[in-house]
Amino acid sequence: MSQVVSPNMQVLGPAGHRPPPTKFAALRNEIRSPTLSFLMEAHDGLSAKIVEEAGFRGIWASGLTVSAALGLRDSNEASWTQVLDVLEYMADATALPILVDGDTGHGNFNNVRRFVRKLCERGLAGVCLEDKLFPKTNSFIGDGQPLADIDEFCGRIKAGKDSQLDDDFVLVARVEALISGLGMEEALRRAEAYHRAGADAILIHSKRSTADEIFAFARHWAGRAPLVIVPTMYYATPTELFREAGISTVIWANHLLRSAIVAMRETAARIAEDESLVRVEGRVASVKEVFRLVGNAELEQAEKRYLPAKPPAAAVVLAASAGDLGGLTADRPKCMVDVRGRSLLDTLVHTLRESGVRDVTVVRGYRKEAVRLGGVRMVDNDRYAETGEAWSLACAREAIRGETVLAYGDVLFRRYILDTLLASGADVALAVDALGDGRRGATPNPPDLVVADRRFSGHYLDDGPVRLRRVSNGVAADEACGEWMGLARFSARGAAWLQEELAALGAEGLLESADLPLLLTRLAARRPVEVLYFTGHWLDVDTLGDLAEARNFG
């Protein structure tokens, strides 16, 4: 027979261990704790995650900041259902208990009943109701705002407590008498009535710059119920004084949104002034950090568990040529020259592996005994001195199975470039520097310039595919659309096309002498080859000057 368990019943787990408290119980423990507790403001799912990472044990879902984040005034302009949507995202984003700023309850006792039930259904641990009239006005606007009738507000409190779906749900009654200038006696009278009506705690509010009237209230109140404060205006008061006064909980009510406004305004102004991201990119959170905060890693693990397994991409790296870096390449090929304690090849392979490309085949030739790297398959082109790049690629033909990345062994690039190629839906995609035009100084090897059916425009809306026409180191400057980075990606079908083109070159007697630009140009004449434009963030190491730049590449 199955056992029906109350949602509030503590069930012993393995070895008699109790499960962790619910969010409802966690908030009640914070409010009733004999030590001072702190709730930090959040206004959406992301800020809720930030509060949790900062080490707080509870969240204040501020009505002011939730409204402001929606571009609305703190005057009940956002409907309670719109607010509820935001709160649900917050509750899903964090394991912390959330105390909701419920304003006046969004209406009379009936609105309060429905609001509290919906909060409980979504795992919101508590609500704070203020004794003002609906629609409310923020407490720091104007003077002498009218308050609700005491008995009517007590009815709202009773309706909320009668409607909660968990015994540990917390209802905090917020007393606005001091804000409205009605004095200490009225504040105490209201607090006592609200306590008798069932409020779990009292929030006493003040907009004075000192906490004198808060401390006076606390002395008179004498701990009859937990006391909550919001020191937005009297922020200079030492926190230790709150402890001495017997305050239960301090709410830092709006500071995440306020700090975000300052940061966003500064960033927006700087970008508008510069028409560039250069000055701000190192001052803002990385996109990778955004991915971390919203839990992309968990999604990746879930994909591995629930989606059909996709064979990982492999890579072929062409590193057979000697290169010419003076004495540095006397006993080793260019790909093995040191860059900050790691060879060029090792740096390239590390980037491939960071993007999930772990099956790497390297075609070596000149001083092949010097080309050593753990976990990499080596294929030799012993005719490197008399053959071209297509022949080296043909030496690794067995490695071109399924999705394949093709790269020169002397290029460096930021990981996002490779990630973009891997995410492309094209069967063949080339990474092309839209700014590349051969003006990178004298180099032993002229750049591989690209002619495509459309130039890079820089417009975000310009998202149609760009088709390759040809690649050559003999393209006129006014015809070039950019420089090929020596990096391409082939889908499984694209890899089959590549194999076909290698076979065709062999049949025509061109395989020994052909380079990759010729191979790609021939492929583009028969198959769709897509150009993906980038602007910098890569390096082709051809000279000692390039090598010096590579040591600062990151």
Q: Which residues pair with 252 in a beta bridge?
A: 40
492: its two tokens? 């499984």
| Per-residue pLDDT at 187 exceeds 80 | yes
What is the average per-residue pLDDT within 231-254?
A: 97
| Per-residue pLDDT at 175 exceeds 90 | yes
CATH class of the 21-262 domain in this structure: alpha beta
Give the residue extent of every domain in the chain: 21-262, 310-550
Reference 131, options 187, 215, 84, 63; nearest CA is 187
Cβ atoms 52, 268 nearer than 8 A = no
Q: Which of 136-150, 332-346, 531-545 has the lowest mean pLDDT?
A: 136-150
| Per-residue pLDDT at 443 exceeds 60 | no
Provide the H-helix boundaries in 94-183: 109-121, 150-163
Give the per-residue pLDDT at 128: 98
Cβ atoms 359, 315 nearer than 8 A = yes
What's CA 454's distance to the chain center, in Å? 32
State whether the Cα torsion 420-421-422-428 is positive or negative. Answer: positive
Active site residue 448: no
| Per-residue pLDDT at 275 exceeds 70 | yes
In tens, the pLDDT along 39-82 reads 999 999 999 999 999 999 999 999 999 999 999 998 889 999 99
Give the per-residue pLDDT at 306: 87
| Per-residue pLDDT at 442 exceeds 80 | no
The vertex-505 CA angle with 503 and 506, nearest 5°, equals 65
Cβ atoms 514, 390 nearer than 8 A = yes
What is the average per-residue pLDDT within 236-246?
A: 97
Query: Cα–Cα distance between 185 and 153 in angstroms, integer?
Result: 18
Q: Tokens 């753990």 correspond to what residue?
A: 374
Give the per-residue pLDDT at 16: 52
Q: By percentage, how much of the chain surpasses pLDDT 90?
A: 74
In tens, the pLDDT along 455-478 reads 988 765 566 799 999 999 888 888
Pairing of strands 482-490, 404-408: antiparallel
Q: Tell me the Ramachandran region of residue 486: left when phi exceeds 0, alpha when psi lies from -120 to 50, beta otherwise.
A: left
Give the per-residue pLDDT at 398: 95
| Per-residue pLDDT at 20 exceeds 60 | yes
- 21-262 and 310-550 in the same fold: no
Cβ atoms 517, 484 nearer than 8 A = yes
| Per-residue pLDDT at 141 exceeds 80 | no
Grade residue 144 by pLDDT with cuts at 50, 70 and 90: low
Q: Any idea of the CA torsion for 407, 409, 415, 417, to the nearest 10 degrees?
A: -40
Give the per-residue pLDDT at 341: 85
Reference 58, options 85, 101, 88, 94; nearest CA is 94
Q: Which residues pair with 416 in a beta bridge?
A: none
Query: Cα–Cα distance between 529 and 430 in angstroms, integer?
Result: 8
What is the average per-residue pLDDT within 254-273?
A: 96
Give the per-residue pLDDT at 21: 85
Q: Which of 210-224, 271-285, 514-528 has the lowest mean pLDDT?
A: 271-285
Q: 310-550: which CATH number, 3.40.50.970, 3.30.413.10, 3.40.50.720, 3.90.550.10?
A: 3.90.550.10
Phi, psi of 389 (to 5 degrees): -65, -35
Mean pLDDT of the chain: 90
| Per-residue pLDDT at 7 exceeds 60 | no
Give the per-residue pLDDT at 447: 86
| Per-residue pLDDT at 10 exceeds 60 | no
b/e burial code for range 468-484 (CB count within 10 A of at least 16 → b): bbbbbeebeeeebbbbb
3-state SS class at 490: strand
Reference 116, options 100, 130, 132; nearest CA is 100
Q: Which of 44, 74, 359, 540 is catalytic?
A: 74
Give the per-residue pLDDT at 142: 61
